[in-house]
Amino acid sequence: MDFTWNQALYEDIVNRAESLEKKRDMKHILDIGSEKYEALVTVAEEEFLTHPDGPYPGTRDEMKHDENYLRKKLIQNYRKVPYSGHAIQAAIDDAAAMGGGIVRIPEGTYYTGALVLKSGVELNLSDGATLRFMRNKSNTYYPVRFSRWEGVECMNFSPFIYADGAEDIAVTGTGTLDGAADEFNWMPWKFGYFGEKDQQIQRERLFAFNAERTDPEQRIFDDTVSTLRPPFIQFYRCRNVLIRDVRIANSPFWEVNPVLCDNVLIRGIHVETNLYNNDGVDPECSRNVLIEDCYFQTGDDCIAIKSGRNQDGRRVGVPTENVVIRRNHFSNGHGGITIGSEISGGVHHVFADENSFDSPNLDYPIRFKTNAKRGGSLDNIYVRNSVVNKSRVAIVHADFFYEEGRNGSHLPDLHNIVIDGFLTRAGGCIDAKYPFYLKGFADAPIRNVTFRNMYLDGVHGHAVLANIRNLRYDNVNINGIRQPDRSVDVGEEKSGPAL
């Protein structure tokens, strides 16, 4: 059965999201620069780390292999800064008490810790305004809060901007959210560099809690043990969420992570953060999400659609569904639009249209990540009218043998995928190993995949395919050669032109 673009559903998602711009409440505007809130600014001591030899002179990949540089202990530094966190939170609380309003951050730099948005409140950053988050890895500035980390619920460092159960909330403006993370602050936990703690110990502890079905509120990771870097913006169980125009830089972890949210508009944001696990936007267990006109320069996936990891994903049991991704520019990142790998709750109805994949480090413009541990039903994914400039591995990549592979009892179900109108940039060479890399399981084949109107130049090898039912080629052109139009079933792994 052919799967086709559902225009009625697409328009419904867009119309719901666009209604959020009309719901903004301009009645109350609270300015952080006013006398009331300036009186709440205090002096705080920021703790931060530097390397005895200074910043590394080469690339990050070169640094990762420089054992002499990595073994040196970091230097603990302290400095006094004007701390505006109490003032900003007081303004948010006041606006909420008034029934809603705008908290305006004027031009300037404001040091803060975690902020909690509340119903009816818009946090607006004026042009030239920067919220700079403290580098202290402490519950003083980032209290323990109910959160998700890599798709698993826990009590961890608060996300930098957080809300739980709120409605009609927004983060807007042309200012900057600066997480202040770098190779020496927050990031060393990724691998335990410079003698710092290695997050893998606490990561495995969290995943053990998940496997053992421990009550999430008993999965406590306070600042005496936690090495789980917090996401930048995480809104939990919220409705009517708007994030527009802001620049997000230097995040410790994922940038924008709406979890269990309904009706989300992310429009025109600039994500410029190239550190470890710096996904751009990760909608998780959320529905009716519109991501449009955004610019992504990330250190990981630009957009990654998720729905919980393993046991937690199945326990909560909420898919991500009804997502529109359009007119975005992916300037840097290893994955363009990724579905997974924390995908156990499933993903349904994703529409991607008129996106530009321009990253020089892009491995996969379109990628599906799951396995027999994650499982998940992933279906009705439609990508059309997009341009790709680089794809070092494959234009479309789906591999059920990712990480744990077949070691599990939760077979994934990936079906109804259409890639229509995918072009190499004029005069470009995507430098891809394969045009397509699709590997299902023999007892859980990938089903109903259509490649249509594709013009791909700079592909070095043939498609790699295994365990696929009803793979269709329709006007697929690779290196100037049109592949035969046909529909095929593939069993054990094969490689060749137009299988």
Average pLDDT over all residues of the chain: 96
Model confidence at 1, in pLDDT bands (50, 70, 90)? low
179, 160 Cβ separation under 8 angstroms:
yes
Band of pLDDT at residue 26, cut at 50, 70 and 90: low
Q: Is residue 459 situated within a structural domain?
A: yes
Residue 144's alpha-carbon distances to 31, 138, 230, 244, 264, in angstroms, are 28, 9, 11, 27, 25
Closest by Cα among 26, 33, 170, 172 to 98: 26
Q: What is each CA distance from 82 to 35, 127, 131, 170, 292, in whole angstroms?
A: 15, 20, 12, 25, 36
- Give CA–CA dist 405/421, Å, rounded: 31
Nearest CA-CA partner of 1 in 259, 348, 380: 380
CA–CA distance, 434 with 432 (Å, rounded to integer) = 5
The SS3 assignment for 45 reads strand
Burial status of residue 440 (CB atoms within 10 A of its CB: 0-12, 13-18, 19 or more): buried
Cβ contacts of 198 within 8 Å, gap of 6 or more: 189, 191, 192, 227
pLDDT at residue 497 in the model = 60
> Is residue 454's pLDDT more than 70?
yes
Q: Which range marks the domain in which residue 446 is found? A: 7-34+85-135+161-177+234-496
Question: What is the rounded CA–CA span in Å between residue 6 and residue 9?
Answer: 6
pLDDT of residue 25: 59
In a domain, residue 202? The reply is no
DSSP 425: P
Residue 150: inside a domain: no
Q: Region 35-58: what's the mean pLDDT? A: 98
Please check whether residue 208 lies inside any domain of the structure.
no
Contact 58, 15 (CB under 8 A): no
Residue 359 has pLDDT above 90, yes or no: no
CATH label of the domain that carries residue 480: 2.160.20.10
Q: Mean of the pLDDT values across residues 43-57?
A: 98
Q: Which amino acid is at 123?
A: L
Examine residue 328 and state whether it is found in any structural domain, yes or no.
yes
Structural domains counted in the chain = 1
Whether residue 398 has pLDDT greater than 80: yes
Nearest to 115 by CA among 186, 163, 65: 163
Whole-prediction pTM: 0.97
User: Residues of the chain with pLDDT > 70: what percent?
Assistant: 98
The CA distance from 280 to 291, in Å, is 11
What pLDDT score was predicted for residue 109? 99
pLDDT band at 133 (very low <50, low <70, confident <90, very high): very high
The CA–CA distances, whole Å, from 267 to 40, 69, 78, 145, 291 equal: 32, 40, 37, 27, 6
What is the C-alpha separation between 413 and 378, in angstroms, rounded?
Answer: 6
Q: What is the pLDDT of residue 428?
A: 73
Predicted pLDDT at 360: 87
- Is residue 466 situated within a structural domain? yes
Q: What is the pLDDT of residue 141?
A: 99
DSSP-derived secondary structure letter, 335: E
Contacts 24+ apart (CB under 8 A), 22-27: 23/168, 23/240, 24/102, 24/122, 24/170, 24/242, 25/99, 25/100, 25/101, 25/102, 25/120, 25/122, 25/168, 26/102, 27/98, 27/100, 27/101
